[in-house]
Amino acid sequence: MKAIANGKFNLSLYVTGVVGGMHLLDGVMHSVSLGDELIVEESDRVRVTMLGAECPTERNTAYRAAILVRDRYGLSLDISIAKHIPVGGGMGGSSADAAGVLACAERMLAGRGVNADLSDIAAAVGSDVSFMMRGGCARVRGTGGDVTALPPMEFDALAIDCGAVDTAACYRTFDELALPFSSPTEGELLSPFNALRPAAERLNGRLRDCAETAKRLGVAVSMTGSGGCMFVISPPAGTADAFREAGFRCFPVRSAACGVVFV
């Protein structure tokens, strides 16, 4: 079974508090057309092969998702993942991979006559996985399990890879900088904002360089997730070339109406 697991942009991201050591978030996510390619087959044991990136097995969300599926349903999967979403870019690459595995597992189990609901596994594996399985556009709150669907949007955009930012380090830096908690009003949800940006910029100066390039070009740039990637909505002609000349990898993308696409 083949699938594309789409990445996402955080159109807005607020940090509203901390409970039990977990940061609570509120904001809007939207799927985009830059995705990882998965081939998932039934096997005698769980295996994950990564192409284009390396990830230790114990940290691989796709592997953890597959183990939970095996333990519950006795279905072992052989998974091959060709990475296209920038690693550590804040576009949800690892969560997308886990979502793709779970979506494929649901289809395989349905073929056995098992009506499987893997939403609890999605929530257990990673904070963005619940959204990434359904995709489109949604308001996502708390630790990622509170997902409220919103009407999908249509837009073209440019994703700009500024280099990886470690998510855990970004949240630690957020705390160290004593950045304020805040909650969006309904009117602010679709306005660009990312509470983690000052922390991510402290860890990765290329994000500031990207913002300076955007300012010079006269375009608005936003950061997705805990950083690594910035994005421009409706970029004018020549924007990608200008960022590439400044030394950034760029990916033209479109909005996507779903998280996982079967091919």
54 CB contacts (<8 Å, ≥6 apart)?
none
Tokens of 27: 């904001």
The Cα–Cα gap between 81 and 187 comes to 38
Beta strands in 20-151 (DSSP E): 22-43, 47-51, 76-82, 137-142, 146-150
What region, left, alpha or beta, does residue 208 occupy, with left being phi > 0 and alpha being psi -120 to 50 degrees? alpha
Spatial separation of the C-alpha atoms in residues 174 and 38, rounded to whole Å: 34
Catalytic residues: 8, 128
Q: Are 158 and 231 in contact (CB under 8 A)?
A: yes
Contacts of 36 (CB under 8 A, 6+ apart): 4, 5, 7, 81, 82, 83, 84, 85, 93, 96, 97, 100
* Cα(217)–Cα(212) distance, integer angstroms: 9
For residues 234 and 224, give the distance between their C-alpha atoms in angstroms, rounded to a whole number.
16
Kind plus residue range of the DSSP H or E element containing 170: helix 167-176
Outline where DSSP puts E strands in the chain.
Answer: 2-19, 22-43, 47-51, 76-82, 137-142, 146-150, 156-161, 193-194, 222-223, 229-233, 249-254, 260-262
Helix axis angle for 93-111 and 61-73, nearest 10°, is 20
